[in-house]
Structure 1
Amino acid sequence: MMMRASACGHFAVERPRRVFGVLLLLLLLLTACTPRVAVRPRIPAFAQLIAQLSEEGGYFPSDNLVSNELGYQKILQKLDELNVRGGVYIGVGPEQNFTYIAAVRPTYAFIVDIRRDNRLQHLFYKALFALARNRAEYLALWLSRPLRESAERWTQASIADLVRLMDETPPDPSAFRMTLERAYALIEGRFGVPLTPEDRGRIEEIARSFYESGLDIRYETHFRRSWRQFPTLRQLLLETDLTGRPRNFLAAEESFQFLKQLHAQDRIIPVTGDFAGPKALRAIGDYVRHLGETVSVFYVSNVEYYLLQSDAFAAFAENVKALPRTERSLIIRSYVGYGFPHPEALPGYFITTLLQRMNEFVRLYEAGEYRTYWDVGMLDYIPVR
């Protein structure tokens, strides 16, 4: 009886083991025969946000590779006095935005431009911020003029010293090509933004302009040579605020490092958009609300001049009206007097940089006061001198 019980117990254990083995073998065979489904690469949130906010681009009669607004720093002291800090920054155009962002210290910044090339240029700049450890390396990468000495030596250098260093350093074709390839890899890899062959070509043209011209590069129009000589990048870097203090984003290491960190957090977002268009500014406004933030500064350059010429100003004003704002929110405007100097104009400066409360802009628009470009610049502004 004991032997039989023992034998029965043995078979009771072995049977489930055999069944389990057969099932495991079948599972392995099925797995081997099942066709694999390709796993889509994850699109980073940064790339998704660019696509989500952007709209169809358009034409503008200049490349705007660098700013043409020499007096762009003249309002910075007033920004300090008004204690405009944090919030969300919206701007347009190339590198002058970095100076305003460094001054305002926003949580997010959106660079909106009708030219798709501006988005590509800012993606290139984002790559340079990722590659450069300090201001000297950034300039060296930007202008394809490799440093002959350790970058750390220049960490505390003045902007005048950095400009002199770049002027004394010849361009290097191999450095140009290497920086370009590293930028492509970062944009498509870490940033997750796909580039078409045309995109790569345009980024190369932009980078080559800085490689060939160095600090002598300046704003140019497409249709004719400008009747007025615009400032070079060298002049823009060496410009100062009203107190004589250089405030360009490359003038102080702290400003550069703040921008580098903001870029690393994917919080400087280049967007293709029309200020008077139906999507970009509205979508940015919705996103800012989602963040629980408000717009602190909206830098519009002189875009309003072109909007008034094309009867698109009302659509732009409605977009501004829809942005989340407070009584402290400001517009930074670049005003061209065209023979009628603005009261805030400075000798030797063709373009006058102005400040206005965003709420006052909306109030005057709703009252029907904006009929001409003169109205936009003259009816309301905050004196900075």
Structure 2
Amino acid sequence: MDDTRAYHARRGIMPAMRVLALLAVLASCVASASEPALSSFASLPADPAPPELVRGNHYWISNEDHLELFHDAVKDKGGLYIGVGSDQNYLLGAWARAELLVLMDFDQSIVDLHRVYRVLFQKAETPEAFLRLWSQESKPEVRRLIEEGYPDKKERAPVLRAYGIARWAVERRLHRVVEQMKKAALPCFLVDADEYAHIRRLYQEDKVFMVRGDLTAQRSVRAIGQAAVQAGKKVGVLYLSNAEQYFPYDARYRSNIRELPLDESSVVVRTSGQRGITHVKGTYYHYNTQSGTSFLAWLEDAKTRSVLAMLRYAPDTAKVHGLSWLDTGPDEAREAMKQKLLAKRQAKKEKSRSRRTRGEAVK
């Protein structure tokens, strides 16, 4: 021991560098201790595979081409993000600055595709590098990354299959999203370094969880709700895509949604291709955003047997035809619709009376 170290040892004084190192370790321990346990998310039970897929298709990519309409609703919501489908979840999750992502789909192939996304996010340090990995030229590299990321052959095989089938469609879709968000003048994880880094960090910190989950089944959604409560997380964003148009609001679905920690700060975002409601011009879909408390209130209403029965009472925003916002319960919404129809009827009567008056004046 040199003279300086001996002096510090005798005096009980720790050198500054050792103090700083110890403080760093202590800070790390405190941070780890304050992070809620996420083990329940890591072991979410899968729901049984559906007897058949919608139209027999794997929906490898989203066909919702106006996701910019959800930006203001989901921005900086934080908390837990729960979403169905594929690429759209990364765009919305980054905007929301989600603390955790739970990605679910009743099609196991889409879950396998998210496992491809996982290895590419972990490998690519920038959005540009990420997009390059989806190119035709990068196929040998990506196959090697998948083999390294999933050493178990049984687990690796469906991931390779998903990549082999979906790669070209995903590449085309991602470049289309870049153009759409550029046109909308909004940040995008495929271009913006901060947006991309947020999703990549969630993967690096093991805060992205994937499960074959069915919104109407008995296991996954309920388990997600229980894991969220255990971890002390509120749902920031619940993204349902257009899934609800394919099933009724039965007891199981109502019960599943009630298991999720939704409140007035939560937002539910969905699309619907059904008739009887407005659609954004030139698209298949109506886009709807709804507060968590509003959704729970509608699910308590026995008359609300489907998403269409609810969306008929969701007024379009002044901003975009085909984009609605719903933050009230069924009684208030129905009364508002009643008053609107009465006002419209009264205006029609006034117009008719005015025409008759003008006609009598001409005579």
User: How far apart, CA to CA, are the structure 2 residues paired with 1:352 and 1:265?
Assistant: 35
Q: Does 1:115 align with 2:107?
A: yes
User: How far apart, CA to CA, are the structure 1 residues paired with 2:57 and 2:198?
Assistant: 30
Partner of 1:98: 90
Q: Does 1:267 align with 2:204?
A: no
Contact 2:270 2:288 in 1 (8 A): yes
**CA separation of 1:137 and 1:46: change in aligned 2, threshold 3 A:** farther
Pairs within 5 Å for 1:279-294: 279-294=219-234
The match for 1:52 among 44, 51, 62 is: 44
Partner of 2:178: 237
User: How far apart, CA to CA, are the structure 2 residues paired with 1:249 and 1:313?
Assistant: 36
5+ residue gaps, structure 1, are: 1-44, 144-170, 189-193, 217-231
User: How far apart, CA to CA, are the structure 1 residues paired with 2:255 and 2:143?
Assistant: 40
- The structural deviation recorded for 1:382 is 7.8
- The structural deviation recorded for 1:85 is 1.8
- The structural deviation recorded for 1:212 is 4.5
**CA separation of 1:215 and 1:354: change in aligned 2, threshold 3 A:** same
User: How far apart, CA to CA, are the structure 2 residues paired with 1:249 and 1:384?
Assistant: 28
Q: Which amino acid aligns with 2:243?
A: V
SS of 1:328's equivalent?
coil
**CA separation of 1:85 and 1:63: change in aligned 2, threshold 3 A:** same
5+ residue gaps, structure 2, are: 1-36, 320-363
Q: Which amino acid aligns with 1:315?
A: R
Partner of 1:256: 196
Partner of 2:160: 204
Partner of 1:151: none
Pairs within 5 Å for 1:1-385: 49-58=41-50, 59-60=52-53, 61-80=56-75, 84-143=76-135, 171-172=136-137, 175-188=138-151, 194-196=152-154, 199-212=155-168, 215-216=171-172, 232-240=173-181, 244-308=184-248, 313-338=250-275, 340-342=276-278, 345-380=279-314, 383=317, 385=319
Q: Which amino acid aligns with 2:300?
A: E
Q: Deviations over 1:236-295 (max 9, x none)?
A: 332139x82134321311100111101101111111111111110111111111111111
User: How far apart, CA to CA, are the structure 2 residues paired with 1:67 and 1:76?
Assistant: 16
SS of 2:57's equivalent?
coil
TM-score w.r.t. length of structure 1: 0.66
- The structural deviation recorded for 1:370 is 1.6
User: How far apart, CA to CA, are the structure 2 residues paired with 1:384 and 1:183?
Assistant: 47
**CA separation of 1:254 and 1:381: change in aligned 2, threshold 3 A:** farther
SS of 2:181's equivalent?
coil
Q: Which amino acid aligns with 1:202?
A: P
**CA separation of 1:271 and 1:210: change in aligned 2, threshold 3 A:** closer
User: How far apart, CA to CA, are the structure 2 residues paired with 1:295 and 1:284?
Assistant: 10
- The structural deviation recorded for 1:332 is 0.6
SS of 1:239's equivalent?
helix
User: How far apart, CA to CA, are the structure 2 residues paired with 1:331 and 1:135?
Assistant: 28
- The structural deviation recorded for 1:383 is 3.4
TM-score w.r.t. length of structure 2: 0.70
**CA separation of 1:212 and 1:367: change in aligned 2, threshold 3 A:** closer
- The structural deviation recorded for 1:368 is 1.5
User: How far apart, CA to CA, are the structure 1 residues paired with 2:45 and 2:194?
Assistant: 30
User: How far apart, CA to CA, are the structure 2 residues paired with 1:204 and 1:347?
Assistant: 38
- The structural deviation recorded for 1:210 is 4.8
User: How far apart, CA to CA, are the structure 2 residues paired with 1:361 and 1:46?
Assistant: 26
Percent sequence identity over aligned pairs = 20
The alignment's C-alpha RMSD in Å is 2.5
Q: Deviations over 1:306-336 (max 9, x none)?
A: 122xxx6431121111211221111111111
User: How far apart, CA to CA, are the structure 1 residues paired with 2:161 and 2:122?
Assistant: 21
User: How far apart, CA to CA, are the structure 2 residues paired with 1:64 and 1:202?
Assistant: 16
**CA separation of 1:183 and 1:106: change in aligned 2, threshold 3 A:** same
- The structural deviation recorded for 1:374 is 2.1
User: How far apart, CA to CA, are the structure 2 residues paired with 1:46 and 1:292?
Assistant: 10
User: How far apart, CA to CA, are the structure 1 residues paired with 2:57 and 2:141?
Assistant: 28
**CA separation of 1:88 and 1:245: change in aligned 2, threshold 3 A:** same
User: How far apart, CA to CA, are the structure 1 residues paired with 2:210 and 2:140?
Assistant: 24
User: How far apart, CA to CA, are the structure 2 residues paired with 1:52 and 1:335?
Assistant: 28
- The structural deviation recorded for 1:214 is 6.8
**CA separation of 1:101 and 1:288: change in aligned 2, threshold 3 A:** same
- The structure number with the bigger radius of gyration is 1
